[in-house]
Amino acid sequence: MNYGLYLSATGVQTSLHRQDVHANNLANVQTIGFKPDAVYTRERLPERIESNDPWASPMELLEQLGGGHLANPTRTLLTQGSLEPTGAPLDVALDGEGFLAVQSGNGETLYTRDGRLNLNADGELVLASNGMKVLNAQNRPIRLDPTAQLTISQDGAIQQNGTEHDRLSIMDAVDPAAVRKQGQNLYVIESVRLGTAQVQQGYTETSAANPIQALMSMTNAAKAVSANARMMQYHDHNLEELFGRVARVG
Amino acid sequence: MATIALHSAASGLSALSTQLDIIANNLANSNTDGFKASRGNFQDLLYEERRQPGTVNANGDERPTGLYVGLGVQMSGTQLDFRQGSSRPTGRPYDILIEDDRSFFQVTVESDLASGGIAYTRAGNFVTNSEGQLVLATDQGRILDPQIVIPENAQTVTIGKDGIVSILEEGSETPSEVGQIETATFINPTGLRQVGENLYVPSAASGPANSGNPGEEGRGGLLQGSLESSNVDPVTELVDLIRTQRAFELNSQSIQAADEALQTIGQLRRF
């Protein structure tokens, strides 16, 4: 069959995938603590090698063409966003490697870089965006005195009335590649260790997505789609010629 | 498919236009006494899992990470900024400023506006009504709670730091007390509902009001003859406005790029 038709089709598919990922990065340029996803693509191996089928006979000529194009796993780029002063005492930004540990409604520990905090009606420290409880170093929610001034030092220690009241839990992923996004600025990390990030009170970390880069990649991918689609049309045309003219019976 | 890109960009446009609405409201209220600026909080939407991490290929190798595509952005909520606005001396006897960033005046409202019939405000521009009661100088004339009646023959009115209202009557040399202004605090003031008219009403998230005399239990004192200006900072708002507008434009470009890709595919069969 016409091998090239499928190669061009994989080119269209991966380019569309690239557009999807960059569109999401671009949509999140104002999301506090957002980390952009990077798209990696790779050459696809010929089918005989990819499926490791010892019985398939090698077709050397075709295998020289390669097997097309595949999307590799998306990687979240944990680059530092710039810190923006807000002056609000319950805004913290992480400077360096690490995440704030929070507890979801069903008791699961999740991680975030979005340090816009708030107190809930019970006086517990929660995330302002979804109300999840922020955890201390002992993995317990942090209860504060709502009337007292709050100071959070760079090592995550929370001071109220001049004494250390509690300490934020700053954890980092053992393997930065195994950080999985869950939406709502949250990350699922299987294995963690102590993070090295410094806590900056009165700041938020802006989105690390680069809008210009994302837009360039989107337009670029659109061009790649159009080039590959054009190639498909040529393949189609060749087939049409083959069946309609060369291989016409009678 | 590029349709995801379209939806992501559309979610960006919708969240960013909400952000524009919030900024416009903040700027419109930059001269409203006692007004507190809001900010919009964004969060990323769910991620579509295209390939699960940990699946094994034909070689027996485990895929170390998955393939995820994000589906855009959403506005997770607005957050009030309760930092104190700058004080503005007016010299008028019924203008009162609260000297902290967490206490509120209490006024009576209809019970369908707030359960319990009490709403809370930071705007301390009071006047007296025809019955001598201290009321908010708004079109609705909300009555201060607990009620304070200023007698007709009062020459001067003094409101102390502790909320005690005393008057000096005509022909008298000693001031007499006519009432006590109480203020209320909340564990989570950002959880209050905004109902307009500079008023806030409690919600389940704010916790119940904890009212008492000013200057006690962490409640700030009162300052007569001053008002609290709006805490909107026009400069930051304008910077945010420009940034939001540009991000909006970029997202509309990303719709065009996705549309271009879809159009190309749509024309595949036309030679």
Concatenated DSSP letters of B180-208: E--EEE-S-GGGSEEEETTEEE--TTT--
What percent of chain A shows pLDDT beyond 70? 98
User: Following DSSP, what letter does each residue of B59-105 receive, concatenated?
Assistant: TSPBPSS-EEEE--EEEEEEEE--PPPPEEE---TTBEEESSSS-EE
What percent of chain B shows pLDDT beyond 90? 59
Please state, in angstroms and rounded to a whole number, the distance separating the CA atoms of residues B239 and B262. Answer: 35
Give A-chain residues touching B69 at CB under 8 angstroms: 17, 20-21, 24, 74
Residue A25 has a pLDDT of 93
The answer to whether residue B102 neighbours chain A at the CB level (below 8 Å) is yes
Residue B107 has a pLDDT of 94
Please state, in angstroms and rounded to a whole number, the distance separating the CA atoms of residues B137 and B126. Answer: 5
Residue A68 has a pLDDT of 76
Q: Which of residues 25-44 of A touch B (CB under 8 A)?
A: 25-32, 34, 37
pLDDT for A73 beyond 90: no
Q: How confident is the model at residue B271 (pLDDT cuts 50, 70, 90)?
A: low
Nearest to A23 among B9, B15, B271 (CB): B9
Q: What is the mean pLDDT of chain B?
A: 89
Residue B57 has a pLDDT of 67
For β-strands B87-89 and B210-212, DSSP reports them as: unpaired
Q: Amino acid letter at B18?
A: T
Residue B265 corresponds to which tokens in the numbers above? 């595919």
Q: How confident is the model at residue A64 (pLDDT cuts 50, 70, 90)?
A: confident
Do residues B77 and A44 touch, judged by C-beta distance below 8 A?
A: no
* Enclosing H/E stretch for A234: helix A211-241
Helix (H, G, I), strand (E, B) or coil at A148: coil
Mean pLDDT of B4-29: 93
The answer to whether residue A178 neighbours chain B at the CB level (below 8 Å) is yes
Q: Which residue has the higher pLDDT, B58 or A197?
A: A197
Please state, in angstroms and rounded to a whole number, the distance separating the CA atoms of residues A210 and B63. Answer: 28
Please state, in angstroms and rounded to a whole number, the distance separating the CA atoms of residues A152 and B198. Answer: 31
Please state, in angstroms and rounded to a whole number, the distance separating the CA atoms of residues A168 and A103. Answer: 13
pLDDT for B207 beyond 60: yes
Please state, in angstroms and rounded to a whole number, the distance separating the CA atoms of residues B178 and B172. Answer: 15
Q: Which residue matches tokens 């019976």? A: A249
The answer to whether residue A1 neighbours chain B at the CB level (below 8 Å) is no
Residue B202 has a pLDDT of 92
Give B-chain residues touching A32 at CB under 8 angstroms: 41-42
Taking residue A199's Cβ as centre, other Cβ atoms within 10 Å add up to 23
| Contact flag A32-B204 (C-beta cutoff 8 Å) | no
pLDDT for A63 beyond 60: yes
The answer to whether residue B81 neighbours chain A at the CB level (below 8 Å) is yes
pLDDT for B231 beyond 90: yes
The alpha carbon dihedral of A104, A109, A113, A119 has a sign of: positive
Beta bridge partners of B39: B79
Q: Alpha carbon of B94 to those of A14, B137, B159, B243: distances in Å?
A: 68, 10, 8, 41
Residue A53 has a pLDDT of 72
pTM value surpassing 0.80 = yes
Taking residue A133's Cβ as centre, other Cβ atoms within 10 Å add up to 20
Residue B248 has a pLDDT of 94
Give A-chain residues touching B102 at CB under 8 angstroms: 146-147
Mean pLDDT of A170-175: 92
Buried b / exposed e along A28-37 (16+ C-beta atoms within 10 A): bbbbbbbbbb
Mean pLDDT of B78-84: 91
Measured between CA atoms, the residue of chain A closest to residue B256 is A219
Mean pLDDT of A37-60: 76
Residue/partner pairs of B111-117 with CB below 8 Å, 24 or more apart: B113/B195, B113/B199, B113/B201, B114/B195, B114/B201, B114/B202, B115/B201, B116/B202
Mean pLDDT of B168-175: 85
Taking residue B101's Cβ as centre, other Cβ atoms within 10 Å add up to 17
Give A-chain residues touching B42 at CB under 8 angstroms: 28, 30-32, 34
Predicted interface score ipTM higher than 0.90: no
Q: What is the mean pLDDT of chain A?
A: 87
Measured between CA atoms, the residue of chain B closest to residue A115 is B41
Give B-chain residues touching A182 at CB under 8 angstroms: 46-47
Residue A154 corresponds to which tokens in the numbers above? 């760079």
Q: How confident is the model at residue A187 (pLDDT cuts 50, 70, 90)?
A: very high
pLDDT for B56 beyond 60: yes
Please state, in angstroms and rounded to a whole number, the distance separating the CA atoms of residues B118 and A225. Answer: 61
Mean pLDDT of B96-101: 92
Measured between CA atoms, the residue of chain A closest to residue B267 is A229
Beta bridge partners of A90: none
Please state, in angstroms and rounded to a whole number, the distance separating the CA atoms of residues A61 and B257. Answer: 37
Q: Which residue has the higher pLDDT, B63 or A218?
A: A218
Lowest mean pLDDT among A52-66, A167-181, A213-227, B165-179: A52-66
| Contact flag B44-A185 (C-beta cutoff 8 Å) | yes
